[in-house]
Chain A
Amino acid sequence: MEDMPSALPDGEPVPDDGALPAHALAGAADRPLGFYLHVPYCATRCGYCDFNTYTATELRGTGGVLASRDNYAQMLTDEIRLARKVLGDDPREVRTVFVGGGTPTLLAADDLVRMLGAIRDEFGLADDAEVTTEANPESVDERYLATLREGGFNRISFGMQSAKQHVLKILDRTHTPGRPEACVAEARAAGFEHVNLDLIYGTPGESDDDWRASLDAALGAGPDHISAYALIVEEGTQLARRIRRGEVPMTDDDVHADRYLIAEETLSAAGFDWYEVSNWATSEAGRCLHNELYWRGADWWGAGPGAHSHVGGVRWWNVKHPGAYAAALAAGRSPGAGREVLSDEDRRVERILLELRLREGAPLSLLREQGLAASRRALAEGLLQEGAYAEGRAVLTLRGRLLADAVVRDLVD
């Protein structure tokens, strides 16, 4: 569930062969390259989810082209080959691979390994490459994990969300409490060095104590990375409808703020440091390098229906429906649905809004006069750290992290 907002932006068309403007590849060698592989299948759709996922195992596009769980690895391989053509003689090896969904572990472990193999074949994997997959606690076992590890995966991320049954029920999560923690142990046993647990706070019906219990349970399992997200109730989801009908209460923003502070307090007491607004790790090595590529303007190719890519200031996104995606690839066309070529100003704004979310912050040199004035106000209001500011960086304080979007709105002026 990393990469997939359901609505695609507006943009210009992508050429049939997927070719990029020449300037996108200029200086590419200096930037790391990552791959995101999207698996758009889920056993059931969760009530809060608005990602691009499908519960059917088979979907057809125009001309009857079939996209199914069975041929899915082959389709992604086709797109990885397309990527090779588009990037031409780009010499870069791949630094990170991240398989997300949907539920990647609905595919056979061998399929995930085959997709990784396609990347290795076409681009080569760096020796220290980070290779992550998301995993559903109920759809993996020791053998599955061992197959992944042997196939080259070295990081795994489990969707735990909560340790409380009643919270999981509101979220429509089907796993039993305790299972994600067991998964961590199994992953460790299979040889995974890096393990993440995803948590969600602010679910209707969750109390402060429920949230503390979830954090404690997650910490007890011994991951080296924890992501904690405020529940976003997206329009069009089942949960949004239930809230509108008054069946479940909406969580107040102040409650979200309280839970965030609880998370920061609990996680830092357990030796975790925040390195992005919603991400904590036990060490530098425990950070998710792939996500850092997103936040630092690196290049990545997103393969799969609805996946987003970025190379050298060009962002594009694939058609959403697996059938349409399969049909484009079968016809030898790029599955790109649209793209945008970022202006210098767009890139400046993106850098501020992404880098400000990081522990290292954004350099003040990105700011114009009005933005600088705003940064001084933010400093005075205690939203930016004084020490870092003196060294020329805008770094959010704890209170600032909770108001990051408001700070960004002023700093981009």
Chain B
Amino acid sequence: MPAIPSHVPEPSRTDPALIRNFCIIAHIDHGKSTLADRMLQLTGVVEQRQMRAQYLDRMDIERERGITIKSQAVRLPWAPTHDPGNTHILNMIDTPGHVDFTYEVSRSLAACEGTILLVDAAQGIEAQTLANLYLAMENDLTIIPVLNKIDLPAAQPEKFAEELANLVGCEPDDVLKVSAKTGLGVEALLDKAVEQIPAPVGVADAPARAMIFDSVYDSYRGVVTYVRVVDGQLNKRERIRMMSTNATHELLEIGVSSPEMLPADGLGVGEVGYLITGVKDVRQSKVGDTITSLHKGAEDPLGGYKDPKPMVFSGLYPLDGSDYPDLREALDKLQLNDAALVYEPETSAALGFGFRVGFLGLLHLDVVRERLEREFGLDLIATAPNVVYRVIMEDGEEITVTNPSEFPEGKIAEVYEPVVRATILAPTEFIGAIMELCQTRRGTLLGMDYLSEDRVEIRYTLPLAEIVFDFFDQLKSKTRGYASLDYEPTGEQSSSLVKVDILLHGDKVDAFSAITHKDQAYAYGVRLVAKLKELIPRQNFEVPVQAAVGSRVIARETIRAIRKDVLAKCYGGDISRKRKLLEKQKEGKKRMKMVGSVEVPQEAFIAVLSSDDSAGASKGKK
């Protein structure tokens, strides 16, 4: 292990020429966190005994699921092997690894001049990594390709070095080979980062401009905002201005992560650090926004800021209606740390009071739901996720539909649905299966490229609604788990969409309505009425279960009337037991929801609506 570097430049007094800002692009289990840990150790910022695996992932859920949701930034001093007297500052910015957080990733990348492209030497590059690589290339980042886990017996470094070289445009020999686990090759990687990644360039005496690339709520300190200073300097105690909102704040604290928060006098050109202003809500400190000084501040913000836009909606209802206030409070708290989370109250005849919640995507939905259940102890029903539709009526009125039950009844001119550009990487043997799947999901092939002899990249335009509904599960099962998927929203398209209603004994059940393509309405209707027939207990009378588009019934099942519901014997000793059984049955009846005259058990709603078996993409973490 190298000696701890001496003469470490201090924050706010660091020559930009000594700074290297980079991030690591990697697929979830390809070893990013382990590599980051190894870097923390090698640069001496974390002592051996304090080291715990995946130091940078803070939240329990991240640790358990092995995913990284919120990015972090760490300042690492590094004296390169070829120039030990010249200690450099490496700012490592951790990026989220999932498709839902593309915008956050793009801001993290914008804070860097270089990136380490980290790929598992036994598995090769995955779709999400490739998507982020393209993003890095668009941002003109210097790319350092690295194969990890070369100590594994299954590693194929030659094969995948070639693949990476093709993608990045370098020689296979330029691909570094490391083992983050053992530390092999990590020093050489740090040296290469100093050597290859350009130093940041900014105007030191210009008005301060710093870009927010992350914003985290901490219950003790309020919002901690992570920034990259582009021009000028931010100093402690000065007043700053958020350029998108013009809100002003005092800098209560400014500093760097090392990786614990270390207060400093300020941050200069090219530096990366955190600041605390006392705001309590991350929506007041938005990722992508530009911070400047209140006095003699900059006129023009840095480019690239976008408001997060929810793409997927789901109704969240407490299983126990009396938990509704707790759910509201929990959502309020989560929103402090999640600027992309939007919600508004919603009432369902079937499920009672809840919220319609907007998410960036399915992982986002999954993470939020899991945090609500785990951190706030709530039992929730999440309705099957849906996308946002734009409906143009014949009279020109435009209606935004975030809940299928709001789909208008009248004369509709056109319906627009969001579409995405999906990238699928898979072994070539699965091309047929993948194309078949995408075809049935109304996909349009954009192109196909061979990454290597036996791996292919397939690009499709797909309606987001099709991805939201069990696409990822299907993809995984049709490719025996080998395919990986990434997608990004690219706009909307006009489609032949209809609302399928479900009628129980002639009464429409709002919670079961769904918007589907007209060619798929029949299949949806048949599937749902069959499922309901199975789940709803027989009643005293025959109950037709119908699926209808408008007034046209497209599928029908019948729940036969129950013919026997009587205990054969009721003698002396049975009476107490019988009365108690009756009391119990009455309790059970209370848990039934009356839909018109039909008693529907809560479980039926949960089974039909819950996203568990319909929205498989939530399992798309890996």
Are A402 and B573 in touch, CB under 8 angstroms? Answer: no
Interface check A404, CB cutoff 8 A: yes
Closest residue of chain B to A10 (Cβ to Cβ) is B580
Interface check A107, CB cutoff 8 A: no
The tally of CB-CB contacts under 8 A between chains A and B is 106
Within 8 A of A (CB), among B554-572: 562-572
Are A357 and B570 in touch, CB under 8 angstroms? Answer: yes
Task: Report the Cα distance A405→B586, complex, angstroms.
Answer: 11
Neighbour of B569 across the interface among A278, A306, A401, A405, CB < 8 A: A278
Interface check A273, CB cutoff 8 A: no
Within 8 A of A (CB), among B522-552: 540-541
Task: Give the residue among B540, B541, B582, B586 with the most A Cβ atoms within 10 A.
Answer: B540
Interface check A3, CB cutoff 8 A: yes
Neighbour of B575 across the interface among A231, A254, A354, A409, CB < 8 A: A354
Are B566 and A354 in touch, CB under 8 angstroms? Answer: no
Interface check A325, CB cutoff 8 A: no
Are B564 and A409 in touch, CB under 8 angstroms? Answer: no
Residues of A within 8 A of B574 (CB): 5
Are B573 and A4 in touch, CB under 8 angstroms? Answer: yes
Residues of A within 8 A of B570 (CB): 277, 294-295, 353-354, 357
Q: A349-B582, A353-B578, A409-B586 are in contact. Are A3 and B563 (CB under 8 A)?
A: no
Interface check B579, CB cutoff 8 A: yes
B interface size (C-beta, 8 A): 25
CB distance from B601 to the nearest CB of A (A): 15
Are A409 and B582 in touch, CB under 8 angstroms? Answer: yes
Interface check B576, CB cutoff 8 A: yes
Are A353 and B582 in touch, CB under 8 angstroms? Answer: yes
Residues of B within 8 A of A302 (CB): 572-573
Task: Give the residue among A4, A232, A317, A353 with the most B Cβ atoms within 10 A.
Answer: A353
Interface residues on A, range: 35 or more
Residues of B within 8 A of A4 (CB): 573
Are A381 and B541 in touch, CB under 8 angstroms? Answer: yes
Interface check A230, CB cutoff 8 A: yes
Are A9 and B572 in touch, CB under 8 angstroms? Answer: no
Neighbour of A294 across the interface among B566, B571, B580, B586, CB < 8 A: B571
Closest residue of chain A to B576 (Cβ to Cβ) is A9
Residues of A within 8 A of B575 (CB): 294, 308, 310, 315, 350, 354
Mark interface residues in A1-39 (1 if CB within 8 Å of B CB, else 0).
011110101010000000000000000000000001000
Q: A232-B568, A350-B579, A409-B585 are in contact. Are A253 and B573 (CB under 8 A)?
A: no
Are B577 and A9 in touch, CB under 8 angstroms? Answer: yes
Within 8 A of A (CB), among B153-193: none
Closest residue of chain A to B539 (Cβ to Cβ) is A406
CB distance from A309 to the nearest CB of B (A): 8
Interface check B589, CB cutoff 8 A: yes
Are A36 and B572 in touch, CB under 8 angstroms? Answer: yes
Interface check A267, CB cutoff 8 A: no
Are A291 and B571 in touch, CB under 8 angstroms? Answer: yes
Are B577 and A406 in touch, CB under 8 angstroms? Answer: no
Neighbour of B576 across the interface among A300, A340, A399, CB < 8 A: A340
Neighbour of B573 across the interface among A260, A308, A381, CB < 8 A: A308
Are B572 and A253 in touch, CB under 8 angstroms? Answer: no
Task: Report the Cα distance A353→B580, complex, angstroms.
Answer: 12
Within 8 A of B (CB), among A384-413: 399, 401-406, 408-409, 412
Are B572 and A401 in touch, CB under 8 angstroms? Answer: no
Interface check A256, CB cutoff 8 A: yes
Interface check A307, CB cutoff 8 A: yes
Residues of A within 8 A of B567 (CB): 232, 405
CB distance from A361 to the nearest CB of B (A): 15
Are A406 and B562 in touch, CB under 8 angstroms? Answer: yes
Are A2 and B563 in touch, CB under 8 angstroms? Answer: no
Are B568 and A278 in touch, CB under 8 angstroms? Answer: yes
Task: Report the Cα distance A113→B135, complex, angstroms.
Answer: 98
CB distance from B533 to the nearest CB of A (A): 16
Are B576 and A403 in touch, CB under 8 angstroms? Answer: no
Closest residue of chain A to B566 (Cβ to Cβ) is A404
Task: Give the residue among B562, B568, B569, B576 with the most A Cβ atoms within 10 A.
Answer: B576
Interface check A247, CB cutoff 8 A: no
Interface check A257, CB cutoff 8 A: yes
Are B582 and A401 in touch, CB under 8 angstroms? Answer: no
Residues of A within 8 A of B569 (CB): 229, 232, 278
Interface check A344, CB cutoff 8 A: no
Are B576 and A7 in touch, CB under 8 angstroms? Answer: no
Known: A257-B563, A306-B573. 12 other contacts (CB 8 A): A2-B572, A3-B572, A9-B576, A9-B577, A291-B571, A294-B570, A308-B572, A317-B576, A381-B541, A383-B540, A402-B566, A403-B565
Q: Give the 8 A-B residue pairs with the shortest CB-CB distance, closest first.
A: A257-B563, A308-B573, A229-B568, A404-B566, A257-B564, A406-B565, A230-B568, A3-B573
Could you list 18 A-B pairs, sorted by A, with CB under 8 Å?
Answer: A2-B571, A2-B572, A36-B572, A230-B564, A253-B563, A260-B564, A277-B570, A294-B575, A308-B572, A308-B576, A310-B572, A315-B575, A346-B579, A349-B582, A350-B579, A354-B575, A357-B570, A412-B582
